């Protein structure tokens, strides 16, 4: 049998990451991301047709690499990832949602462990086929289970109204593994269904599933131990990396000044020299993720004030959005505006971000009570046409500075009409502020 080309396997695993990295230099560039993912799928598919175990190995390597990136970024929560393109294709919104973890542990790392287990099994089958009989049945069965979970995750993503391209790439990888398992299993004399069930129930004499399960458990336990160690935590690594990053890459001057109308709620000293404006959506998972960090930044820096503007990702009140993606975003924005009129915007703001799954009328009324608001007055106010007009004005202001998704953070570093768009969240903003104070920028 011909030997599997190592360089081809490497190119398959790295193609999506390399082309995606090229895209990261140009915000909103969707083509390199899609091209990279498609290239990875295509090359793995070609290998499947030539030698199924080689194709499965290539797909598993690709899957493990992408899953490691997503898992690390989930733990670090360090700003925008390379696959966050716009309001529709935003990996951060999906990767920071509640569906992206189980008990605080990123599901991406669980996927990585699965792909590594499949990779080890594939290597064993390529090196010594007799050692792992029924390997195809085990791969097929595991792949079917993986596709079922992929369908669930995709449905949840549809519920969020936003999609993660790297997550979609993993769905394709799982399909390729399943297809490879089928191609291998059909060559065996044991019927597909019977052999698959026998493998999954550990009733055959093949160690295939045992190999995958062992690798899976070792990787999950090891990753969990490393991730829980402060010095080894991806967030720590991200912070160290930021120390070495050229701060000038963390912001871009806007082509037009950001327009303020004077109605923006202010957190911090209104006379603070540094003005930060955040455009956010109360139903946006990543906005909720960074909300406390933004508030903590203001509390720790007396020379910074934070202003809030609405940018709901819903056509119900945002003409820049094509559909009512975040069904409760406009309602939540209206409630926040009405809370501002009662002088308790930030109290409700905090509760809305903490309870993003309960933004219906009943949930908002419950949170308004805990925020010590006049609930009947709030509910009456939310039906006032002027509230929707105010949200439209925030959206128009966002359009002037080319906001197309949330969160979008801007900094006014001094006097005049100069504004900077911050690339990332509170951590990146803190770096830019420190550099500005020190005269480095």
Please state, in angstroms and rounded to a whole number, the distance separating the CA atoms of residues 144 and 177: 9
Radius of gyration of the chain (CA): 25
Say whether pLDDT at 149 is over 60.
yes
Say whether pLDDT at 73 is over 90.
no
Q: What tokens does 240 get?
A: 């160290």
Cβ–Cβ < 8 Å for 212, 120? yes
Q: Across the strands, what pairs with 278?
A: 308, 409
Mean pLDDT for the chain overall: 86
Say whether pLDDT at 321 is over 70.
yes
Helix, strand or coil, per DSSP, at residue 33: helix
CATH fold for domain 6-237: de novo design (two linked rop proteins) (1.20.1440)
Cβ–Cβ < 8 Å for 20, 48? no
Say whether pLDDT at 1 is over 60.
no
Please state, in angstroms and rounded to a whole number, the distance separating the CA atoms of residues 203 and 197: 8
Q: What is the pLDDT of residues 359-398, one digit of tens each?
A: 999 999 999 999 999 999 999 999 999 999 999 999 999 9
Per-residue pLDDT at 235: 40
Helix, strand or coil, per DSSP, at residue 317: coil
What are the residue boundaries of the structural domains of the chain, listed by start?
Answer: 6-237, 245-437
- Exposure on the CB side of residue 78, measured as CA atoms within 13 A: 22
Q: What tokens does 350 get?
A: 């905090």
Q: What is the pLDDT of residues 111-145, one digit of tens each?
A: 999 999 999 999 999 999 888 888 999 999 999 99
- Exposure on the CB side of residue 195, measured as CA atoms within 13 A: 21
Please state, in angstroms and rounded to a whole number, the distance separating the CA atoms of residues 67 and 109: 6
Please state, in angstroms and rounded to a whole number, the distance separating the CA atoms of residues 156 and 97: 10
DSSP state for residue 388 in the 8-state scheme: H
CATH class of 245-437: alpha beta
**What is the torsion angle, in degrees rounded to the nearest 10, for the CA atoms of residue 296, residue 27, residue 249 and residue 239?**
40
pLDDT tier at 77, thresholds 50, 70, 90: low
- The residue with greater pLDDT, 402 or 230, is 402
Beta strands 420-422 and 251-253, pairing class: antiparallel
Cβ–Cβ < 8 Å for 72, 387? no
């Amino acid at each position: 049998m011909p030997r599997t080309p190592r360089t081809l396997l490497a190119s398959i695993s790295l193609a999506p990451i390399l082309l995606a990295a090229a895209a990261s230099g140009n915000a909103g560039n969707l083509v390199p991301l899609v091209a990279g993912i498609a290239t990875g799928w295509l090359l793995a598919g070609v290998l499947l047709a030539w030698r199924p175990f080689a194709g499965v190995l290539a797909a598993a390597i690709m899957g493990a690499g992408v899953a490691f990136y997503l898992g690390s970024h989930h733990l670090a929560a360090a700003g925008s990832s390379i696959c966050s393109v716009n309001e529709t294709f935003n990996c951060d919104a999906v990767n920071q949602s509640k569906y992206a973890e189980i008990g605080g542990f990123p599901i991406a790392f669980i996927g990585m462990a699965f792909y590594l287990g499949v990779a080890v099994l594939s290597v064993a089958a390529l090196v010594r086929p007799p050692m792992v009989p029924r390997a195809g049945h085990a791969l097929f069965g595991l792949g079917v289970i993986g596709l079922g979970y992929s369908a669930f995750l995709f449905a949840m993503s549809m519920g969020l109204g936003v999609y993660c391209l790297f997550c979609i790439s993993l769905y394709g990888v799982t399909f390729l593994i399943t297809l490879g398992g089928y191609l291998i299993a059909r060559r065996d004399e044991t019927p597909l269904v019977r052999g698959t069930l026998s493998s999954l129930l550990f009733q055959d004499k093949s160690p295939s599933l045992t190999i995958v399960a062992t690798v899976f458990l070792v990787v999950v336990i090891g990753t969990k131990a490393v991730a829980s160690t402060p010095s080894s935590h991806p967030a720590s690594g991200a912070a160290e990396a930021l120390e070495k990053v050229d701060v000038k890459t963390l912001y871009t001057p806007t082509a037009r000044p950001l327009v303020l109308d004077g109605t923006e709620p202010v957190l911090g000293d209104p006379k603070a020299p540094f003005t930060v404006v955040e455009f956010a959506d109360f139903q946006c998972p990543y906005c909720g993720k960074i909300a406390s960090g933004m508030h903590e930044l203001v509390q720790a820096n007396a020379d910074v004030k934070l202003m809030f503007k609405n940018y709901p990702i819903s056509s119900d009140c945002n003409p820049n959005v094509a559909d009512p993606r975040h069904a409760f975003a406009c309602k939540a924005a209206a409630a926040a505006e009405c809370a501002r009129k009662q002088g308790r915007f930030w109290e409700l703001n905090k509760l809305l971000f903490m309870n993003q799954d309960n933004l219906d009328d009943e949930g908002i009324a419950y949170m308004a009570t805990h925020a010590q608001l006049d609930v009947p007055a709030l509910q009456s106010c939310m039906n006032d046409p002027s509230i929707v007009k105010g949200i439209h004005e925030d959206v128009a202001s966002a359009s002037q500075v080319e906001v197309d998704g949330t969160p979008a953070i801007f900094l006014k570093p001094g006097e005049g009409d100069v504004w900077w768009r911050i690339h990332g969240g509170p951590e990146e903003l803190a770096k830019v502020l420190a550099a500005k104070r020190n005269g480095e920028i």
